[in-house]
Amino acid sequence: MSEHEQYAEDLALYALDALRGEDRARLDEHLATCAACRLELEQLRRDTALLALSAAGPRPPQRARQRLLDAVAREARVPKIVQASPQRSWWGVLGWAAAAAVLVCVALLLRDNLGLRESAISARSEAAKNARELEELRRIAAPIVDPGAQRVTLVSTNAPPQAQGKAFYLRNRSSLVFLANNMPALPLGKAYELWLIPVSGAPIPAGVFKPDAHGSASVVNPLLPAAIEAKAFAITVENDTGASTPTMPILMMGAGG
Amino acid sequence: MLSPQPQGISADLALVTGLKSGDQGAMAELYDRYSSVVYAVALRVLGDTGEAEDVLQEVFLQLWRRPSAFDAARGSFRSWLAVITRNRAIDSLRKRRPETDIDDVVLSVAPDLAGDVERARAAEKVRGVMGTMAPAQRSALEMAYWEGMSHSEIADKTGEPLGTVKTRIRAGLIALRKAFQG
């Protein structure tokens, strides 16, 4: 029996979330290093989705619609400062570390604030504290995000500008902010893809991006597996829909510090 | 409101994009499109209309709060929503704190069953395949999927060896896959 066959039945249980304990831990370990089994798991998840779609029954009661819309109306959308950042074209070398730190903090605080809305009254004072901190961070970020700000990138006078990228990764929150500038333009249909290189296992896609006219780009909080330890980050050129495995060559790479 | 409404996957994507900018009309439209799917899945798991309604609310509120959790490149919206609902309903059934975040649900290129007619046909097909399975196999698959039981819980309940339960469940899923590939 091959290694993949050995895991075939456990993969089906995994897709159904019916595998627990040591069996699950053992399979998690195998999945981290086996692309074939990851693909089979994706297929099995599609199979289980068919089961979900087979459910049929009465429509929900009419009151449920209004109940939902009332709840939605009560939840004012928090402005997505972080989401606006991919459009910016001005990330200068000197401002990167501070800007990214602010972005990470803003993103985390926004997330915290959303979570706090669901909390009990006793959490309100904490929410107010976070709101004050968020306001302070916005004030600090203003010179960076204000379109009217003067932005200057300082580079060596002896060399042409080099493509640069910086990744800021919080493993315990699976939060990642990546900022790049001086990125070369890409052919039509192509995009850059950021990869998280784990300590063990295959590279994990961490966002597809295209630079703007000034060569600047960013990726903010891409979908990542939980708590993966990053050995390095890398960038390749892929089709603009992204890839599940990197296409060589690796254009840029940096090891975690 | 968004009007007139395009149909299918592109319309879903436009509506989810609307959620990201806080469009409550888009939320209402998505609810009108998919509340019966969500409610049917929740009711199938929970068997209680009140609890199913609570899960319905919870799933759509999560969507409102985190619309970016849906990645259109990796699966159809309907399938994604149905799977999220199943997971939340199982958590509710087992009286446990929600374990599955909506960000965790990834369906890579899930079946495109966007149209109601196509979905109804697919649902009928799934029920047909289930109907052809041996009762023990169908039961094992249903206990795992609709009751959230682990393989060892199923083995304990049925008195069958763990290996038999595993084999039956995998064979059941493969039979479903083949029905949709052929």
Among A48, A81, A85, most B C-beta atoms within 10 A, so best to mutate, is A48
What is the rounded average pLDDT of the residues B130-142? 93
* Pairwise pLDDT comparison (B170 vs A224), residue with the higher score: B170
Q: What pLDDT, on the 0 to 100 scale, is given for residue A47?
A: 86
DSSP of A180-215: EESPPP--TTEEEEEEEEESSSS-EEEEEE---TTS
Determine, for residues B53 and A54 on separate chains, whether the beta-carbon distance falls below 8 Å: no
CA distance, residue B150 to nearest chain A CA (Å):
4
pLDDT averages per 10-residue partition of chain A, 257 residues:
73 88 88 86 86 84 92 71 42 53 63 56 61 67 56 55 81 80 87 90 89 83 82 90 86 78
* B 74-133: CB under 8 A from A: 75, 78-79, 82-83, 85-87, 90, 100, 103-104, 106-111, 113, 119, 122-123, 126-127, 130
Residues of A with Cβ-Cβ distance to B82 under 8 angstroms = 49, 52-53, 55
Residue to mutate among B68, B93, B176, with most A CBs inside 10 A, is B176
Whether residue B151 and residue A18 make contact (CB cut-off 8 A), yes or no, is yes
Q: How far apart are CA A124 and CA A155, in angstroms?
A: 47
Nearest in space to B176 (alpha carbons), one of A43, A32, A177: A43
Contact map slice: B 8-67 vs A, CB within 8 A:
20-22, 24, 27-28, 31-32, 35-41, 43-44, 49, 52-53, 56-57, 60-61, 64-66
Alpha-carbon distance of A133 to A158, in angstroms, equals 42
Per-residue confidence (pLDDT) for residue B155, from 0 to 100: 94
Distance between CA atoms of residues A77 and A73, nearest Å: 9
The pLDDT-based confidence of B161 (bands split at 50, 70, 90) is: very high
Q: Are A41 and A11 in contact (CB under 8 A)?
A: yes
Mutate to test the interface with A, among B97, B143, B149, B150 (most CBs of A within 10 A): B150
Give every CB contact of residue B114 below 8 A, 6+ residues apart in sequence: B7, B8, B9, B12, B76, B78
What gap in Å lies between CA A18 and CA B170, rounded to an integer?
Answer: 12
How far apart, in whole angstroms, are the C-alpha atoms of residue B103 and residue B109? 16
Instruction: Tell me the DSSP string of B3-46.
Output: -SPPPHHHHHHHHHHHHHTT-HHHHHHHHHHHHHHHHHHHHHHH
- Residue B102: pLDDT band (50, 70, 90) is low
A162: closest CA of chain B, how far (Å): 32
| pLDDT at residue number B116 | 63
Verify whether the Cβ–Cβ distance B57 to A64 is below 8 Å: yes
Which of A81 and B99 is assigned the larger pLDDT?
B99
DSSP strand pairing (A252-255 vs A230-239): antiparallel
At residue A242, the pLDDT reads: 85
CA A111 and chain centroid, separation:
13
C-alpha triplet A118, B149, B100: angle, nearest 5°: 30
Q: Cα distance from B148 to chain A (closest Cα, Å)?
A: 7
Under 8 Å between Cβ of A203 and A224: no
Q: How far is CA A240 from each of CA A178, A208, B17, rounded to the nearest angstrom? A: 18, 7, 19
CA distance B113 to chain A (A): 9
Token output for B26: 């888009």
Q: What share of chain B is helix, strand, coil (3-state, %, to 5)?
A: 75, 0, 25
Cis peptide before A203 (omega within 30 of 0): no
- Could you give the 3-state DSSP secondary structure of residue B59? helix
- Inter-CA distances, A239 with A87, A177, B3, Å: 21, 22, 33
CB A195 within 8 A of CB A235: yes
